[in-house]
Amino acid sequence: MRTGASAVRLFGLGMMAAVMAFADIAMAQGTIENAGQFKARDKFWIFGVRAGQDDTLIGRCAKPHPRFGSKVTPAEAALYLNVPNMIMVNCDGVPAPFSQQAEDYAFTFTSMKKVLWSSTGSGGYRAGNEEEFIVKLAEKHPNICGAFMDDFFGKFHNLKESERTEKTRELLKTIRAGLDKSKHPLELYVVWYTHETGAVDPSLFQYIDGITLWTWDSKELPQLEERFIKIEKNFPGKKKLLGIYLYDFKNYYPVPKDMMELQCELGLKLMKEGRLDGLIFEANSVMGVGFPNDNWTRQWIQRVGETVVPK
């Protein structure tokens, strides 16, 4: 029970209550799937980071100014939004592979449906032993279904294009080989910013199972559908998830309501048409500080979560 006790110390009794509540949610969702139905909510994910990770960035928001630093953990954000899947991303190397902190986070995700764990963290950070850790974590937690590469394509941005491509290819081969040591298949997903979709050699995607698309500047969201169609045409065999920012990190304000509605409704439309494999809501670190998109997103998910979508 060492992991459980550590989780109580790290996250508090409130977090443990969230874990228990997720067991009920997971049971209900399992019943739905066993009945032969698949709902939009089943394809929703949380982009999880340590609580308070983005306090400095959200602190630059002039209006509405955040009340205080965010204390919301990844599992608490998933419980609040009623989202069953998690992507755990390390930031500045935290949580480190094989650390007790990483084990404790994994414990809080026990009742979640699917979990991806970062093999590269924010800024493309790598310790080097991520795949070994993910494989061992998957042995203990069957809901660990793969790895996630955050900010991966910018990792070698200072190199010349040809050298950058080869360095990226070498690292992808290393990551893929490490994941393939798992006793059960582990998928590999990558972050791709929509304004950079022409800057990556397409041959690199042979090592990648899924693409997650992100619009860094919310002012560019009106171009999202056009950009998605291009990706859809060029990579028909890849799984695709749409990243939904709640906070505009480029312009330092919550994504405006009309742009939240645009990206979420477009994502739902594409899911219903069988063209998109899910939505990722980013992130717990901008929640609980008085911004309007916490409640807007929760209400939107409540309204559309039971929508039947292709499996």
CATH number at residue 125: 3.20.20.60
Residue 89 above 50 pLDDT? Answer: yes
Least confident of 32-46, 171-185, 277-291: 32-46
Angle between helices 224-234 and 257-272 (to 10 degrees): 30
Looking at residue 7, its pLDDT comes to 43
Looking at residue 180, its pLDDT comes to 97
pTM of the model: 0.90
Query: Using an 8 Å Cβ cutoff, are 196 and 204 in contact?
Result: no
Q: 133 CB contacts (<8 Å, ≥6 apart)?
A: 97, 98, 102, 117
Q: Which helix (H) or strand (E) holds 36?
A: none
Looking at residue 290, its pLDDT comes to 96
Looking at residue 159, its pLDDT comes to 86
C-alpha to C-alpha distance for 290 and 201, rounded to whole angstroms: 41
CB-side neighbour CA atoms (13 Å) of 286: 27
Looking at residue 282, its pLDDT comes to 98
Looking at residue 161, its pLDDT comes to 85
Residue 269 above 50 pLDDT? Answer: yes
Residue 150 region by backbone torsions, left for phi larger than 0, else alpha for psi between -120 and 50, else beta: beta
Task: Place 9 in a pLDDT band, splitting at 50, 70 and 90.
Answer: very low
User: Does 161 or 6 have the greater pLDDT score?
Assistant: 161
Query: Using an 8 Å Cβ cutoff, are 84 and 113 in contact?
Result: yes
pLDDT, one tens digit per residue, over 97-153 is 999 999 999 999 999 999 999 999 999 999 999 999 999 999 999 999 999 999 999
Q: 75 CB contacts (<8 Å, ≥6 apart)?
A: 11, 15, 18, 19, 22, 48, 86, 108, 109, 112
In a domain, 310, yes or no: no
Residue 13 above 50 pLDDT? Answer: no
In a domain, 311, yes or no: no
- Sign of the Cα pseudo-torsion (33, 35, 37, 40, in order): negative
Mean pLDDT of 55-77: 95
Mean pLDDT of 9-34: 52
User: Measured between alpha carbons, how far is residue 272 from residues 3, 38, 43, 265 in Å?
Assistant: 40, 11, 11, 11
Looking at residue 291, its pLDDT comes to 97
Question: What would the two tokens of residue 279 be?
Answer: 């939505």
Mean pLDDT of 169-176: 97
Domain total of the chain: 1
Task: Place 3 in a pLDDT band, splitting at 50, 70 and 90.
Answer: very low
Residue 97: domain span? 2-304
Query: Using an 8 Å Cβ cutoff, are 158 and 129 in contact?
Result: no
Task: Place 263 in a pLDDT band, splitting at 50, 70 and 90.
Answer: very high
Looking at residue 77, its pLDDT comes to 98
Residue 28 above 60 pLDDT? Answer: no
Looking at residue 33, its pLDDT comes to 54
Looking at residue 195, its pLDDT comes to 85
Looking at residue 25, its pLDDT comes to 53
C-alpha to C-alpha distance for 302 and 296, rounded to whole angstroms: 10
In a domain, 157, yes or no: yes
- Please state, rounded to an integer, the average pLDDT across all residues of the chain: 90
pLDDT, one tens digit per residue, over 211-262 is 999 999 999 999 999 999 999 999 999 999 999 999 999 999 999 999 999 9
C-alpha to C-alpha distance for 40 and 33, rounded to whole angstroms: 12
SS3 category, 27: helix
Query: Using an 8 Å Cβ cutoff, are 34 and 12 in contact?
Result: no
